[in-house]
Amino acid sequence: MSETSLIKVRLGGQDLPATASWAEGLDIMLPAQMAALIGNGTVDWHDSAVRSQTQASAVYLRERNAYLSRPPTSARLPVNYRSIPGPLRRAIGRGIGRLQRYRQSQWASFPGWPVDLSADAVADLGDVPFQRPARTPVLLTHDIDSAEGLANLVKWFFPIEEGHGARSANYIVPCAWSIDRGLTSEICKRGHEIGIHGYDHSNRTPFAPAAERHARLAAGAQVGAEFKTAGYRAPSLVRTKVMIEELASHYRYDSSIPTSGGLFPVPNNGCASARPWKIGTMWELPLSMPRDGSLQFLGYSPTRILSTWIKAAYLIASSGGIVCLLTHCERGFSGNPPMLKIYRDFIEIIAADSRFEFLRPIDLVEHLDRQSA
């Protein structure tokens, strides 16, 4: 399918097949051709032509905005954007976010914000084979962008997680700052997972010439080998198709594609799916929950961030997807008392509901591999 226009449709009244009943009343985006089909009234979902068109639409929706085709501003600056001090960088981000807050229809036309499950709803309309998990996996992940983040992780985040039997996955920038090996061995000893977060967080790898891209990915993976790393998360979620495919030679999974990316790294990015899928030999675990930074840049209060997370988690659970949450441990993001409080509240709510289970991404990957063997 070539690039086609998308039309918003509210599901309901179209006699949905049982597999898609969770999406009743949901607004989703559909390729124009499929929207026309649904608009005609009664649809025979069992008709083989309808089914194959629907299945193709599901893949199209997932792939359409999953990758970046050109570098975001942060990767085009003449200097490494991280040489701008963190607080100033966050202030710039917040300024952009506040300006954009009321222009959501432009930066989240597709995927929609804060969660868009169009690809999964369409997959279920087309009866794409899918095994719903018995309990909704909840992956707690952190991007460790700095030595401060690493220290805060162990000091503030682990006690909250461990208090509810959860273990997190922590994606560490491998080649930018000196990694405290005492802290990384504590991460492993306490049963948490370590992954790799790019190379130096300059957001250049995905658009670098092939030889440089290989070298940067290999250097990161070499540090990862020390921690028996299985997973990768791209800095700022800047990713291209070619880079993600190349990760398969180093990792068992990637988690760099958001379900709904919101404003960053570029408007209208994401896969509109909360279900893992295979890219070559590797699993893609979509980052399904709205990120702390994205919500903060938009000016959301901690209370509103918590209610957004809870609503998103329940919607994702109803769809059969995975809840994958990213928080940053630096004080300027989630490593401060008001944000730590809502992080604790979120974990408490999830822990109290037996429909959810905390899993490390590596455990989910093991499970998915067994299931598909």
Is the CB of 38 or the CB of 329 nearer to Zn ion? Answer: 329
Cis peptide before 114 (omega within 30 of 0): yes
Is the CB of 237 or the CB of 359 nearer to Zn ion? Answer: 237
- From 141-149, 153-161, 208-216, 298-306, give the range in contact with Zn ion by CB under 5 A: 141-149
Query: Using CB under 5 A, which residues numbered 211 to 240 contact Zn ion?
Result: 235
- Asked if 254 is part of the footprint of Zn ion (rule: CB under 5 A), the reply reads no
User: Which DSSP symbol is given to 19?
Assistant: G
Coil vs helix vs strand at 253: strand
What distance in Å separates the CA atoms of residue 298 and residue 47, rounded to the nearest whole number?
Answer: 44
- Contact of 252 with 93, CB cutoff 8 Å: no
CB of 151 to Zn ion, least distance (A): 16
CB of 236 to Zn ion, least distance (A): 6
Which residue has the CB atom at the shortest distance from Zn ion?
Answer: 143
Is the CB of 145 or the CB of 254 nearer to Zn ion? Answer: 145
CB of 232 to Zn ion, least distance (A): 12
What distance in Å separates the CA atoms of residue 140 and residue 358, rounded to the nearest whole number?
Answer: 8
CB of 266 to Zn ion, least distance (A): 16
- From 136-144, 188-196, 273-281, 299-307, give the range in contact with Zn ion by CB under 5 A: 136-144
- Residue 134 tokens, joined: 């018995």
Helices 48-64, 32-39: crossing angle, 10 deg rounding: 140
What distance in Å separates the CA atoms of residue 235 and residue 250, rounded to the nearest whole number?
Answer: 17
CB of 145 to Zn ion, least distance (A): 4
How many residues of this chain bind Zn ion (CB under 5 A)?
3
- From 1-9, 37-45, 143-151, 174-182, give the range in contact with Zn ion by CB under 5 A: 143-151
CB of 121 to Zn ion, least distance (A): 30
When binding is defined by CB under 5 A, the residue of 143, 200, 292, 330 that contacts Zn ion is 143
Residue type, 155: K
Q: Where would I find the beta strands (DSSP E) of 179-288?
A: 193-196, 231-232, 253-254, 277-279, 282-284
What distance in Å separates the CA atoms of residue 150 and residue 139, rounded to the nearest whole number?
Answer: 18
What distance in Å separates the CA atoms of residue 304 and residue 294, rounded to the nearest whole number?
Answer: 13
- Contact of 204 with 178, CB cutoff 8 Å: no
* Interface ranges with Zn ion (CB under 5 A): 143, 145, 235
